[in-house]
């Protein structure tokens, strides 16, 4: 869908993007991650053709990015806004027509979305009369109304209460199911695990990691498990094939976080434990994206 190749973007005093290459597959949800100032917004602006790179290229379905692609992209910027004094329905139609829809088509689709999100009664309201959450919903409609092939969402859930965040999340997933590719820029790592197929992590203007979320999490597994068993605490001696990181006595059972020692396997752990305790659960703890993010960004920034 989108191939970003060796993009360099230089501003007067700093380099916002340094030789960044990313592949985004069609029909997937792609997470663009990174701390503040890593270059995410610069990259998104380049894909939106708001700015142009100093060198490198972006391909849209194999063609070099150009003005005709603008109408096939829907962009929800992190800093959102609409004309405050303009009526909301009129405004959505205006933005849809700027994306190339005819007036009648824009009207039809706007009605459809307003009904779907149950906001018909706002049609003649001015933006300044709406709450922030309501404005966000309207803005979401403006982003998706022209049925873009590529949706670029910069922190789409900020400003929503949990109920509305869920509604929007489901709308995004539905659009994705219908074939839209989604680029999703966020700091909220739990939503990344939930939504994204692949990610790229930017830090200090460079891409420091990319790949499928599953693969990344697997590659960062550290042999950490959670064990739960019934009864009283058992004594674990030095011959055990694992090290205890943390243990706790809970209501009627024990919970232990352990790390398997090098050279041993899960079976060795079970083998050691079976005669000693009545096991309820032994489960691998995959590192969260949050852990990986902190680890990757933290190390990179400490090296500097």
Contact set with another protein (CB under 8 A): 12, 45, 48-52, 54, 70-71, 73, 75, 77, 79-86, 94-95, 97-99, 139, 142-143
Q: Nearer to another protein by C-beta: 127 or 277?
A: 127
Q: For another protein, which is the closer residue by CB, 91 or 198?
A: 91
Between 79 and 251, name the residue whose CB sits nearer to another protein: 79
Q: Concatenate the DSSP letters of all residues of 116-154 into one string.
A: HTT-GGGTT-BGGGS-HHHHHHHHHHHHHTT--SEEEEE
- Cβ 113 vs Cβ 143: under 8 Å: no
Whole-angstrom distance, CA of residue 47 vs CA of residue 73: 9
Q: Is-contact 286 217, C-beta < 8 A?
A: yes
Distance between CA atoms of 164 and 78, rounded to whole angstroms?
17
80/109 with CB nearer another protein? 80
Nearest to 203, CA basis, from 16, 51, 67: 16
Cβ of residue 77: shortest distance to another protein, in angstroms? 4
Q: How far is CA 82 from the centre of its chain?
A: 24
- C-alpha 205: how far from chain center: 18
CB of 83 to another protein, least distance (A): 6
Q: At its nearest, how many Å lie between another protein and the CB of residue 1?
A: 17
Return the number of the residue (81 or 263) whose C-beta is nearest another protein: 81
Select 50 or 274, whichever has its Cβ closest to another protein: 50
State the minimum distance, in angstroms, from the CB of residue 67 to another protein: 8
| Closest distance of CB 27 from another protein, Å | 22
Nearest-approach distance from CB 253 to another protein, in angstroms: 53
Q: Within 13 Å of residue 227, how many CA atoms lie on the same side as its CB? A: 26
């Amino acid at each position: 869908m989108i191939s970003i190749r060796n993009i360099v973007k230089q501003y007067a005093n700093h380099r916002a993007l340094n030789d960044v290459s990313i592949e985004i597959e069609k029909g997937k949800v792609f997470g663009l991650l990174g701390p503040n100032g890593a270059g995410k917004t610069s990259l998104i602006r380049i894909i939106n053709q708001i700015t142009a790179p100093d060198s490198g290229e972006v391909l849209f379905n194999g063609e070099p990015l150009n003005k005709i692609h603008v109408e096939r992209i829907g962009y929800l910027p992190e800093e959102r806004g609409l004309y405050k004094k303009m009526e909301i329905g009129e405004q959505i139609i205006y933005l849809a027509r700027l994306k190339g829809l005819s007036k009648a088509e824009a009207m039809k689709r706007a009605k459809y979305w307003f009904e779907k999100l149950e906001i018909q009664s706002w049609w003649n309201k001015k933006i300044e009369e709406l709450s922030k959450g309501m404005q966000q919903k309207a803005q979401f409609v403006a982003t998706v109304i022209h049925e873009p092939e590529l949706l670029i969402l910069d922190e789409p859930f900020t400003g929503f209460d949990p109920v509305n965040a869920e509604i929007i999340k489901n709308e995004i997933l539905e659009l994705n199911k219908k074939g839209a590719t989604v680029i999703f820029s966020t700091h909220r790592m739990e939503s990344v695990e939930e939504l994204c197929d692949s990610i790229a992590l930017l830090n200090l203007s460079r891409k420091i990691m990319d790949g499928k979320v599953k693969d990344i999490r697997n590659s960062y597994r550290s042999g950490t498990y959670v064990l739960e068993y019934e009864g009283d605490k058992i004594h674990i001696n030095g011959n055990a094939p694992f090290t205890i990181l943390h243990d706790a006595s809970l209501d009627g059972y024990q919970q232990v976080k352990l790390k398997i020692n090098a050279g041993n396997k899960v079976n060795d752990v079970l083998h050691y434990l079976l005669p000693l305790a009545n096991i309820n659960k032994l489960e691998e703890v995959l590192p969260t994206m949050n852990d990986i993010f902190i680890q990757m960004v933290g190390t990179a920034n400490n090296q500097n």
